[in-house]
Amino acid sequence: MKSLENGLNYQDLQTQLRQKRHKQFWTLLVVGGSYLALSWLLHFSNTIGIWAIPKSFSWLFINFVPHAQTMQTLPDILSKLLATIGLAISSAFIAAIFAIGLVSFCAPVMPHYLGVKRVVRLIASFLRNIPLVAWSMLLLFTFKQNDLTGFLALFLMSLGFLLRAFLEIMEDESSQIAEALQVTGAGGLVILCRGVLPTVMPQFVSWILYMIENNIRDATLVGILTGTGIGFVFDSYFKSLRYDLAGITVLCIIVVVIALENISAQLRRVIA
């Protein structure tokens, strides 16, 4: 009896293994096949692509190297960089204020919070999935070429992202603490301010820091599109073939992004 059972198990095992191997084989085939099909459909040449990488990097290291003249323009670049950092911070911070205001209505102690939550989720999805390009161009058209345009574009994007993140945190974190203050007889707003917000705030701040990092990168894109900030600086040097200056601009961006990444990692450790 026992040996029979073992025999059955052994057979089961074999078929299972075979099925697994089949599955792996087909997955690989489908993935590889669709990769080749996509390359062909998009006219992407893998050979050109592979060769372009070392070529581009060697080009980068030859042309992007700054020389003595470059340094004269550095203060100008730095001031634009500072303004861009300012934009990244202020857009994330103001977006956070709006986002906190909106998600506050989604705390479990607020009346009708389930309905409100659905609406806020919709707003978030809407804001986040409308391309940054669309916001930038639309804002450029009416607010013209200035920092405010960049600020507003980043603000709208950040608002969408932060809303979704904050909503999820609110869902995960707030019900227990809300209950604890409910039993003291406190009302919804009081529970929100004294219990829910203090509990979720550290995680919110962590997201705000992440948003600032991300905004610096996005600011480059927005800058190229709307002619503002560090993105514009890079774009104009790049297009006028002043590669040394474009190089130093990129270097500045790299330094700022990596520095911000490290600072926020440190801050998160302190806050958490």
**With respect to another protein, which residue has the nearer C-beta, 106 or 181?**
181
- The C-alpha atoms of residue 23 and residue 13 are separated, in whole angstroms, by 15
**With respect to another protein, which residue has the nearer C-beta, 116 or 186?**
186
**With respect to another protein, which residue has the nearer C-beta, 8 or 189?**
189
CA distances from 49 to 74, 138, 216 (A): 34, 34, 28
For helices 197-226 and 147-182, angle between their N-to-C axes, nearest 10 degrees: 170
CB of 116 to another protein, least distance (A): 19
CB of 137 to another protein, least distance (A): 4
- The C-alpha atoms of residue 193 and residue 101 are separated, in whole angstroms, by 11
**With respect to another protein, which residue has the nearer C-beta, 68 or 224?**
224
CB of 160 to another protein, least distance (A): 11
- The C-alpha atoms of residue 69 and residue 243 are separated, in whole angstroms, by 12
- Token couple for 104: 């506050």
CB of 1 to another protein, least distance (A): 30
CB of 2 to another protein, least distance (A): 28
Three-state secondary structure call for residue 146: coil
**With respect to another protein, which residue has the nearer C-beta, 8 or 18?**
18
CB of 76 to another protein, least distance (A): 14
Q: 226: number of CA atoms within 13 Å, CB side?
A: 32
**With respect to another protein, which residue has the nearer C-beta, 171 or 261?**
261
DSSP 194: I
